[in-house]
Structure 1
Amino acid sequence: MGTIAALGRLLGAGLTLVREDALLPRELGDLYPPAVRAAADTLRLFAGAGARQGRPGERLARSLERLGPVAIKLGQLLSTRADIFGAAFVEDLSHLKDKLDPFPTDVARREVEAGLGRKISELFESFGEPVAAASLAQAHEAVLADGRRVAVKVLRPGIMRRVAQDAEVLALAARLVERWAPPARRLEPKAFAATVIRATELELDLRLEAAGADELGEVMARDGYMRAPKVVWDGVAKRVLTLEWARGVALTDPAALEQPGLERKALADNLVRAFLAQALDHGVFHADLHEGNLFAEAPAQITAVDFGIIGRLGPAERRYLAEILYGFLERDYERVARVHFEAGYVPKTHDVAAFAQALRAVGQPIFGRPAREVSMARLLTQLFEITALFDMHLRPELVLLQKTMMTVEGVARRIDPDHDLWAAADPVVRRWMVRELAPPARARRLAEDAAAVVKGLAERLETPPAPPPPAPEPHEGLSPLLWFALGAATAGVAFLMGALR
């Protein structure tokens, strides 16, 4: 699909939102500035019959479902933040997590047989109807020949072509935003779009998801905050994944939080601690922790499924993340500010003390207050304004971390409306600080850094010098500087948005 076709699909997506009155819904008209209100009134002239049916969230959900898998992923993220958008809005979007229309079971059976190269009856004693259907795939309950109950995930027919089309549209939209919306450039729309596209492409090979489930299952077992079903490797192919049946009740089911003996606070704590332990201690984390992928079992056990999106952090990013969290736990805003400057998240042209003062202005008023008294929408607005003052850009390599942190906090708040994110994070962060910042750990890292320097010098001495590069064309002269400037960004616009609690 070329640029013209992508532009047509982008315009079509906009028209879909306009026809459903989901772009600038009439219910929010009193909140719009005069110019936006006038634009909304004009667009509403093109609205269809659907614009009068249902609440804004219902109309948006219908639009996103029509627009395809990438749009549905956006809706899934929005549906975790009742504290920002309201309970009715996220409830209207909640079916996007695992209750989309399934494709026929006989089609799924053919996909399984083609992928595994064997008859259904050779591996499964029974193969049932779909139990959940999401944007990229659907799951079927089945029983193996040895009697084990399993879930078989099958990709939707034609999904690869649809994702490729959506990727071109998203990339085009990012380019247009970067060109025509200067205030949005610090959010690095093109880099953000590339990260989302790459993550979605990786989801289309279920062999990679099987490997992710196996790896994260080992990681989760070390802490016990969360668990993963075991992979049935005989039932794995590019378009097919078989896992042992997840224990518990899906969090999309209202009955999940009404189970006898369920401890809501402990369940929410375990969710937050599982994510942080994965990211900080192991540098690998489940990056799609919405309710459709989580099962709860009394008293406070969580089982995760759908390992198509895996996030990874290097040692440096893990240290910066831990020190930022620890600084907020201790309300040491100067330390948090210094870490941002050391990591290059804030350009050195700014003042550390001024940045620390700005962080204090946002963080201090909400410490110690119950979750229900903290307006996340107001907090997000304040943080966005402050980060703009200090030229903080979105870090593409941390997009999955930021997105997952927001999702995890949103799910934890739905489990326990009074959930204290900081209290839940405290033991995991302090454990990491004690282990990694103690003198033995510092000495070990110093030795590793020294060895890396020596190795680098040896390689340089052994390698003949390269010929000088040709002089750049006049219009290319600033590209390295521009690239360097774009690389200096924030560890957490979205992460701080979710974490400043």
Structure 2
Amino acid sequence: MTFSRGGTVVLRTARAFAVLAGRSLLLGPATAAAWLRGERFERDVWLADTVVALGPAFVKAAQLLSTRADILPPRVCRALSRLHDQVRPVPPRTMPPALRLGAGEPELVGAGSIACVYRVVLPNGRAVAAKVRRPGIVWSLSADLAMLERGAGLAARLPMLRGVPVAAVAAQLAESIRAQLDFAREAERLEGFREALGTADGVTVPGIHPGLSTEDVLVMDFLDGLVRRRPEDLGEEERRNAVVRALRAVYRMLFLDGVVHCDLHPGNLYFREDGSIVILDAGFTVRLSESAREKFAAFFYCMSQGDGEACADIVLSTAKAPPGCDTEGFRAELAALVEKHTGRNAADFDLVSFAAKLFDIQRRHGLHADPQFVFPILSLLVLEGSVREFHPDVDFQREARPMLVTALMEHVVAAPREAR
């Protein structure tokens, strides 16, 4: 039986409503049954299981939200954090023969929304990590994302969202999530990270084994000792070193390479006891256009300098300004917003609030934001959760300046060459 794209979206939407309705109805009887048995009903487990039942796109959104203890209650964040690498696993049936001939059975080490990761010992005794794509994930994820895009198209018609590029942002978000199904692309991005960060002290990115990888399986180096640590597990100096290294790695990728890692939740970013870090997974990454990279770097630099007027000029050069929009009013409000947030450390600087106010100012003054600015902000929002938790006093604006200066200098040097 086959369905059209529209029919598939309708089916997935109906299924989502059915899952929510069914899980909500079960909540009452399950709570009563647990109470009669003298047990405490595990609402956290119920929440995580409901997200998994809804589908991979919902799991991906929950993973991002779980890092934001400043937005959601800590208990909800802890419940959703199970979804980083503890989603229901699947048997590794799709592994290539070279991996199945290894010593012993594959050992599950992580289960995500799109794939599961297994530790496999090769015949030569070397351990590798095999990332195995979930069966049927191409269909289900594509359907969920089509539902997201359809919903965004309807939401864009609401009066309160008129002029906001909701559909464009949803389309870019769906495209980037859909790209996570492409393991060849992810292998290329991981190798790019490994090369770019190869000279960075205390940063490890696993190497790829292309000869063992297939369309459904991505084989990488297996890294021992990857434990999700709490801030109290590290000393103060180690916490600071880990946070600074993570910030500099992200800034390097963002401002110099133009690659945005949107998925640096605790299942993909590990802090080690010695203050070093490990970056895994390059599925949810977005490459910015050269213009977007340069302008976002310039915006962040001007913000770190407290130059709100320059920030406004950069945003105005990227946003669509229809006739009649109040550019002077926008410039004045954004300058005041930047001045208010300049020089704050992670404990005082609220990126969620800043981003919300930035886009609100644009909307009220009739400007249409460039969707490419959404992904860098998303990346920093996810990372900020770890920064705030492990070392709230680090000044991530100051840590960005060396990379920003380098990025801006490269632009200045390259401009005369391009003019020739």
Match of 1:446 among 388, 412, 416: 416
Give 3-state SS (helix, strand or coil) of 1:288's partner: coil
Shift of 1:393: 3.1
Q: Deviations over 1:39-66 (max 9, x none)?
A: xxxxxxx7852796556x7654332211
Residue 85 (structure 2) aligns with: 98
Give 3-state SS (helix, strand or coil) of 1:446's partner: helix
Q: 1 CA distance for matches of 2:198 and 2:95?
A: 30
Shift of 1:348: 7.3
Instruction: For 1:204-219, list aligned pairs within 5 A.
Output: 204-219=181-196
Q: 1 CA distance for matches of 2:390 and 2:123?
A: 37
1:263 aligns with 2:263: no
Shift of 1:446: 3.4
Q: 1:272 to 1:346 in 2, by over 3 A?
A: farther
Shift of 1:91: 1.3
1:335 aligns with 2:338: no
CA contact (8 A) 1:154 1:239 kept: yes
Where structure 1 has 5 or more consecutive residues not aligned to the other structure, the ranges are 22-45, 452-501
Residue 152 (structure 1) aligns with: 130
1:192 aligns with 2:169: yes
- Aligned partner letter, 2:387: A
Shift of 1:219: 1.3
Give 3-state SS (helix, strand or coil) of 2:267's partner: helix
CA contact (8 A) 1:246 1:295 kept: no
1:64 aligns with 2:51: yes
> Which has the larger displacement, 240-249 or 71-80?
240-249
Q: 1 CA distance for matches of 2:401 and 2:30?
A: 46
CA contact (8 A) 1:73 1:135 kept: yes
Q: Deviations over 1:137-191 (max 9, x none)?
A: 1011122333332211111112122122213322222222223x23234443332
- Aligned partner letter, 1:321: F
Residue 41 (structure 1) aligns with: none
Residue 281 (structure 1) aligns with: 256
Give 3-state SS (helix, strand or coil) of 1:229's partner: coil
1:325 aligns with 2:305: no
1:421 aligns with 2:396: yes
Identical aligned residues as a percent: 27
Q: 1 CA distance for matches of 2:86 and 2:80?
A: 10
1:111 aligns with 2:94: yes
**Structure (1 or 2) with the greater helix fraction:** 1
Residue 9 (structure 1) aligns with: 12
CA contact (8 A) 2:203 2:279 kept: yes
CA contact (8 A) 1:84 1:375 kept: no
CA contact (8 A) 1:249 1:256 kept: no
Q: 1:362 to 1:412 in 2, by over 3 A?
A: same
Q: 2 CA distance for matches of 1:83 and 1:255?
A: 17
1:120 aligns with 2:103: no
Instruction: For 1:34-433, list aligned pairs within 5 A.
Output: 48-49=27-28, 60-104=47-91, 108=92, 110-113=93-96, 118=98, 120-121=100-101, 124-179=102-157, 181-224=158-201, 226-250=203-227, 253-254=228-229, 258-259=233-234, 263-344=238-319, 346=321, 349-350=324-325, 352-369=327-344, 371-374=346-349, 378-433=353-408
CA contact (8 A) 1:257 1:264 kept: no
- Aligned partner letter, 2:75: A
Aligned residues: 408
Shift of 1:136: 0.8
Q: 1:286 to 1:71 in 2, by over 3 A?
A: same
Q: 1 CA distance for matches of 2:347 and 2:249?
A: 23
> Which has the larger displacement, 93-102 or 287-296?
287-296
Shift of 1:326: 1.1
Q: 1:98 to 1:262 in 2, by over 3 A?
A: farther
Shift of 1:336: 0.7
Q: Deviations over 1:399-419 (max 9, x none)?
A: 432321211222222222334
Q: Which has the larger radius of gyration?
A: 1
Q: 2 CA distance for matches of 1:426 and 1:432?
A: 10
Q: 1 CA distance for matches of 2:230 and 2:127?
A: 22
- Aligned partner letter, 1:83: D
Where structure 2 has 5 or more consecutive residues not aligned to the other structure, the ranges are 32-40
TM-score, normalised to structure 1, is: 0.73
Q: Deviations over 1:200-239 (max 9, x none)?
A: 3322232222222112211121444633111112221000
Let me know the Cα RMSD of the aligned residues: 2.9
Q: 1:221 to 1:411 in 2, by over 3 A?
A: same
TM-score, normalised to structure 2, is: 0.86
Shift of 1:277: 0.9
Shift of 1:381: 4.5
Give 3-state SS (helix, strand or coil) of 1:300's partner: coil
Q: Deviations over 1:343-364 (max 9, x none)?
A: 3455575455432321233333
Q: 1:126 to 1:398 in 2, by over 3 A?
A: farther
Shift of 1:192: 2.6
Shift of 1:367: 3.8
Q: Deviations over 1:114-140 (max 9, x none)?
A: xxx54622xx33443211101111011
Q: 2 CA distance for matches of 1:283 and 1:379?
A: 22
Q: 2 CA distance for matches of 1:377 and 1:284?
A: 21
